[in-house]
Amino acid sequence: MQRICDICHKAEATRFENVMTDGRAFEYAYCEACYSACLKRGVMPLQLAQMRRARLGLECDECGWTYEKFKDTYMFGCPECYTQMRQIACEEAAALVGRERMMPDIRLTDEDAENLSLYAISSRVRFARNVRGLRFPATLTDGEDVHALLRGAFDATKGLFEAEVYPMRTLGAMKKKALIEGHYISPALAEHPLGALILQKNSEYGISVMLNEEDHIRAQCVLEGMSLNEAYRQLKRYDEKLAQTLDIAYDAQLGYLTACPTNLGAAMRASVLLFLPALNRMCGVKKVFKDLGLDRGLTVRGYFGEGSEDAYDMFQISNQGSIDASEESILQHVVLAAAKLCRLEREALKRLMAMSKCELLDGIYRSYGTLKGAYMLGGEELMSLIADVKLGVILGVLPIKDMRVLNKLIWLSTSSLDILTEGISETERSVKRARLVREIVTED
């Protein structure tokens, strides 16, 4: 039987040393390279081997990550860490499995489908993937491997969609801000020196891929309205191609290996962005979410950045972890929770109308009037007008019948417009925004 070196845990040992410890004999083994390296540095090979043996399972030979670093950051250094610190990884995974899961006790009805088509603004599915043998992005340094990662992720788009690559270091602050607001990239990716984005050409919706964010690859597909299953189907095709172009780190027991153990398993996040104005005004969406027990296994977030949490009555519902769940059950879980919230939104809207119909309609008509008549519009003002008008469309009291018109307007309220109009003053931009809004609203 081949004996591996006790110092590097890699090469075959050729030198052996027997030591008595507490009355028992231990054999230590060294490879030629480690043995001579020790002597050159004036270190006893035995001493180093004993140190390494004591640390067995507490550090990763591949990337040098340690248990202490894991405890500090709750992240691993590379996919190989999951093998080298197996016990720690499995204990963490087991703790995550224990998390309570809630399955809403409802079946989707026709009414739910109709509700979802009214209240769902967009649907999003995301996969996290990593490449075997490559450090996770937190400690990754530039090199041939990183180029191969980028190439592989790009090649996987071929035959699926026309893609463009944006390395973060080539982008200006304005462009980054717009990409963050459009939810194509995270603030963390914008700051990573090796960060890059692959984006579907000429399309607001579809697949986008973040490279070297927390994981090597975070691919997402976003579609308009309630289209979670379709988004999943499209992303799955990209994922299958990815498995052909790159050696994706996967473990039979732990699933896809991710920098943070919370994403292990299916390494998938499914979310639906919902517009819940009545529920939010009547009871507060976050409170309802908690009261229903949806916070077990799911999360709810405001959509437009930190601080603006409840702004504009838009909420993103997503699954939290995916370690013990199949892809299908994650999708189902999120859809059922969204349907439940939409039912409550309907009821809340009835109550709101009963309580303060005149005030509500007054707000809706005024906002609609402003959209059609304003000569200048700021981004934030536009967003709050959209929320009112959307409510009017749901109640069927406005001439706008197609919800997609409003989704187009949301785009005009973000920094995307700022990019197109870079170099002009804030006033000129507001004038331009108002003109574009008028065009969209009147063409419907």
Cα angle, residue 153 at apex, residues 147 and 157 outer, rounded to 5°: 135
Residue 83 CB, nearest approach to Zn ion (Å): 9
* Binding region for Zn ion (CB under 5 A): 5, 7-8, 11, 31, 34, 60, 62-63, 65, 77-78, 80-81
Q: Residue 245 burial (CB < 10 Å; 0-12/13-18/19+)? A: middle
Least distance CB 6 / Zn ion (angstroms): 8
Structure tokens, 103: 């399955």
Q: Which C-beta is closer to Zn ion: that of 31 or that of 317?
A: 31
What is the DSSP code string of 62-106? TT--BHHHHHHHS--SSTTHHHHTHHHHHHHHHHHHTS-----S-
**Which C-beta is closer to Zn ion: that of 37 or that of 419?**
37
Dist CA 209 CA 232 (whole Å): 14
Nearer to Zn ion by Cβ, of 59 and 345: the residue is: 59
Give the shortest CB-62-to-Zn ion separation in angstroms: 4
Of the two residues 35 and 312, which places its CB atom closer to Zn ion in the complex? 35
Are 121 and 273 contacting, i.e. CB atoms less than 8 angstroms apart? yes
User: How near is the Cβ of 3 to Zn ion at its closest, in Å?
Assistant: 11
Report the nearest approach of Zn ion to the CB of residue 71 (Å): 15
Shortest distance, CB of residue 264 to Zn ion, whole angstroms? 15
Of residues 31 and 153, the one with the C-beta less far from Zn ion = 31
Q: Exposed, middle or buried by CB within 10 Å (0-12, 13-18, 19+), for 34?
A: buried
Task: Label the pairing between strands 268-275 and 120-129.
Answer: antiparallel
Task: Find the helix or strand (DSSP H, E) in which 51 lies.
Answer: helix 45-54
Give the separation between CA 360 and CA 365, rounded to whole angstroms: 9
Q: Could you please report the per-residue DSSP string of 109-137?
A: -HHHHHHHHHHEEEEEEEEEE-BTTS--G
* Nearer residue to Zn ion within complex by CB, 60 or 331: 60
- Residue 52 or 346: the one with the smaller Cβ distance to Zn ion is 52
CB of 184 to Zn ion, least distance (A): 30
